[in-house]
């Protein structure tokens, strides 16, 4: 294009003169149209106003003025040689001539800021402002705004309803939907998140997203995260038996699955042994465990959802047999026809037993029964119906398991009729006497003696 080489002042004079002299008469219905490049401007993207002007008959020079909020923003037109002349301008904008009747004002991308929001634009004939467009408001497309969402604490099994509130953007048509972090398959549309019969697996971070679509098909989105914390009662896991050997430390351990974390208590029947707060793993240590520690302990867990969820925690201590009475004496008389005795044994595992004579041979005449009182507590009962007279005898009852053995000695003592005691000393003093004697029988039941005092002599009768 060949430019006219007149000075700017000359150009303006010529341009203005031509506009005044060549403006033709108006016609009813003739108007200017001001059209934006899109329904909504987008921040950071160029936006163009296009002024489509009416050309009066026989006019050879055409020019328009752009106004922003009724303030001159720039004038542009074409001379006879089709040179596009900008008579006044604002450095925020650029100008151009599309044809004799179409002129443009462009807001560059770097200047498309919030400053332009709501600005009112108009284009007019340069020489006669009665020829003008209607006012057009520039509206910047913007995203909806999602209001903050509070953390949700909800008890398992309930029906959760949460509403996502959002202010509309431009365009105002807004879609709202819910997603969940780390769960690409989860999506709910609408402002309300619905989780019926909520489960602990529903805990996590949910996102409410509000979205609209701009005229250029790009989407404006805004979202907020919301944490859902599903609360549930304690569940005591790992219900396995703890087995240790005698004198070892026994550590009782249970996993507590609960939300929030549980406070726990350890009990030996009604006796409180220990407490712990806000734990996931409950543990209790018994140092130098012994046979008597074989039992069921009670673990109780509580949180805000439910209190006193209990579980039995079984401890077994491997130990060799421990005998309550390891030396038993039984007295029999010549008239006795049977003998029996019992003893208590603590052991784990259950012990084996052997009743033997003094010479080491097995006693097969006496019947032996074992009664299990508890996991590690046994009563051994021995009984024999005698068909012959029996002399004094000593048996050994040996009980054992893989950890060791213990022996019970059983003494069977035959009772004889006691003889009169042997007088060791006898002293008379008036109406009193002192007597010392020795029994002829040692052992067996308590013997009774009585003394008879006669007038001439003192006689002791047993």
Q: pTM to 2 decimals?
A: 0.65
Classified as helix, coil or strand, 89 is coil
CATH number of the domain within which 62 lies? 2.60.40.10
Position 101 in a domain = yes
User: What confidence score (pLDDT) does residue 455 get?
Assistant: 57
Question: Of 141, 170, 205, which residue constitutes the final position of a domain?
Answer: 141
| CA separation for the pair 461, 459 (Å, rounded) | 6
Residue 61, pLDDT above cutoff 80: no
Identify whether residues 97 and 161 lie together within a single domain: no
The band of 458, judged by pLDDT with boundaries at 50, 70 and 90, is very low
- In contact, 396 and 356? CB cutoff 8 Å: yes
When pLDDT is averaged across residues 81-100 and rounded to a whole number, the result is: 90
User: What confidence score (pLDDT) does residue 24 get?
Assistant: 39
User: What confidence score (pLDDT) does residue 56 get?
Assistant: 67
Residue 392, pLDDT above cutoff 80: no
Number of Cβ within 10 Å of residue 408's Cβ equals: 23
Residue 201, pLDDT above cutoff 70: yes
Q: What is the pLDDT of residues 365-388, one digit of tens each?
A: 889 999 999 999 999 998 887 656
CA distances (Å), 423 to each of 456, 461, 462, in order? 18, 11, 12
Identify whether residues 105 and 22 lie together within a single domain: yes
Identify whether residues 309 and 336 lie together within a single domain: no
| CA separation for the pair 206, 335 (Å, rounded) | 92
Q: What is the pLDDT of residues 157-183, one digit of tens each?
A: 999 999 999 998 888 889 999 999 999
Identify whether residues 137 and 152 lie together within a single domain: no
Q: What is the pLDDT of residues 263-302, one digit of tens each?
A: 999 999 999 999 999 999 999 999 999 999 999 999 999 9
Residue 1, pLDDT above cutoff 50: no
Question: Of 95, 117, 141, which residue constitutes the final position of a domain?
Answer: 141
Kind plus residue range of the DSSP H or E element containing 16: helix 8-22
Identify whether residues 102 and 213 lie together within a single domain: no
Position 89 in a domain = yes
Position 31 in a domain = yes
Position 183 in a domain = yes
- In contact, 230 and 199? CB cutoff 8 Å: yes
| CA separation for the pair 85, 248 (Å, rounded) | 102
Worst-scoring range by mean pLDDT, 53-57, 250-254, 446-450?
Answer: 446-450
Identify whether residues 275 and 209 lie together within a single domain: no
Q: What is the pLDDT of residues 62-80, one digit of tens each?
A: 889 999 999 999 999 987 7
User: What confidence score (pLDDT) does residue 271 get?
Assistant: 96
Identify whether residues 136 and 149 lie together within a single domain: no
Question: Of 141, 160, 178, which residue constitutes the final position of a domain?
Answer: 141
Residue 334, pLDDT above cutoff 80: no
The chain-wide mean pLDDT, for the chain, equals 85
User: What confidence score (pLDDT) does residue 375 get?
Assistant: 92
Position 299 in a domain = yes
| CA separation for the pair 30, 120 (Å, rounded) | 22
User: What confidence score (pLDDT) does residue 9 get?
Assistant: 40
Position 137 in a domain = yes
User: What confidence score (pLDDT) does residue 32 get?
Assistant: 86
Identify whether residues 378 and 307 lie together within a single domain: no
Position 3 in a domain = no
Identify whether residues 47 and 154 lie together within a single domain: no
User: What confidence score (pLDDT) does residue 98 get?
Assistant: 92
Range of the domain at 362: 324-414
Identify whether residues 28 and 137 lie together within a single domain: yes
Position 457 in a domain = yes
Q: What is the pLDDT of residues 21-40, one digit of tens each?
A: 334 344 444 578 999 998 88
- Report the number of distinct structural domains present in the chain: 5
Residue 13, pLDDT above cutoff 70: no
Number of Cβ within 10 Å of residue 76's Cβ equals: 24
Q: How many helices (H) and strands (E) does the chain have?
A: 1, 38
| CA separation for the pair 307, 301 (Å, rounded) | 7
| CA separation for the pair 156, 158 (Å, rounded) | 6
User: What confidence score (pLDDT) does residue 19 get?
Assistant: 45
Worst-scoring range by mean pLDDT, 125-129, 206-210, 340-344, 435-439?
Answer: 435-439
| CA separation for the pair 267, 315 (Å, rounded) | 13
User: What confidence score (pLDDT) does residue 37 get?
Assistant: 92
User: What confidence score (pLDDT) does residue 26 get?
Assistant: 40
Identify whether residues 426 and 385 lie together within a single domain: no
Decide which of 425 and 318 is more confident: 318
Q: What is the pLDDT of residues 393-443, one digit of tens each?
A: 888 999 999 999 999 998 887 766 666 777 777 777 767 777 787 776 555
Identify whether residues 128 and 12 lie together within a single domain: yes
Residues in contact with 380: Cβ distance below 8 Å, sequence separation at least 6, in sequence order? 342, 343, 344, 345, 353, 368, 369, 370, 397, 399, 408
């Amino acid at each position: 294009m060949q430019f006219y080489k007149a000075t700017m002042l000359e150009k303006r004079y010529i341009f203005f003169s031509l506009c005044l002299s060549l403006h033709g008469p108006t016609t009813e219905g003739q108007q200017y149209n001001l059209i934006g490049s899109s329904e909504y401007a987008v921040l950071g993207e160029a936006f163009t106003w296009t002024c489509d002007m009416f050309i009066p008959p026989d006019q050879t020079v055409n020019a328009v003025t752009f106004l922003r909020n009724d303030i001159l923003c720039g004038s542009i037109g074409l001379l006879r040689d089709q040179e596009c002349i900008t008579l006044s301008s604002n450095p925020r904008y650029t100008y151009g001539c599309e044809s004799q009747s179409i002129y443009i004002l462009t807001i560059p991308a770097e200047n498309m800021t919030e400053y332009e929001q709501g600005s009112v634009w108009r284009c007019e004939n340069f020489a006669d402002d009665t020829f003008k467009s209607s006012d057009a408001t520039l509206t910047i497309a913007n995203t909806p705004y999602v209001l903050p969402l509070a953390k949700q604490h909800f008890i398992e099994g309930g029906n959760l309803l949460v509403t996502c509130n959002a202010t509309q953007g431009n365009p105002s048509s807004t879609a709202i939907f819910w997603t969940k972090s780390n769960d690409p398959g989860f999506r709910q549309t609408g402002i309300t998140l619905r989780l019926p019969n909520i489960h602990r697996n529903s805990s996590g971070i949910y996102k409410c997203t509000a979205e609209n679509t701009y005229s250029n098909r790009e989407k404006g989105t805004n979202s907020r995260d919301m944490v859902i914390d599903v609360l549930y009662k304690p569940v005591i896991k790992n219900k396995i038996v703890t087995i240790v050997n005698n004198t070892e430390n026994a550590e009782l351990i249970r996993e507590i699955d609960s939300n929030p974390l549980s406070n726990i208590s350890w009990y030996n029947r009604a006796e409180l042994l220990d407490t712990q707060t806000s734990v996931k793993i409950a543990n209790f240590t018994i140092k130098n465990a012994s046979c008597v520690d074989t039992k069921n302990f009670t673990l109780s867990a509580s949180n805000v959802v439910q209190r006193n969820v209990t579980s039995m925690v079984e401890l077994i201590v491997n130990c060799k047999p421990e005998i309550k009475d390891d030396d038993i004496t039984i007295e029999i008389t010549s008239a006795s026809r049977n003998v029996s005795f019992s003893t208590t044994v603590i052991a784990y595992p259950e012990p084996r037993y052997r009743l033997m004579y003094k010479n080491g041979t097995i006693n097969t005449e006496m019947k032996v029964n074992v009664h299990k009182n508890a996991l590690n507590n046994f009563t051994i009962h021995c009984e024999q119906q005698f068909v012959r007279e029996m002399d004094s005898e000593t048996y050994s009852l040996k009980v054992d398991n893989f950890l060791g053995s213990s022996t019970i000695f059983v003494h069977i003592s035959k009772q004889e009729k006691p003889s009169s005691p042997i007088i060791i000393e006898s002293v008379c003093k008036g109406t009193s006497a002192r007597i010392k004697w020795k029994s002829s029988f040692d052992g067996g039941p308590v013997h009774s003696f009585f003394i008879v005092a006669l007038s001439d002599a003192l006689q002791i009768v047993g």
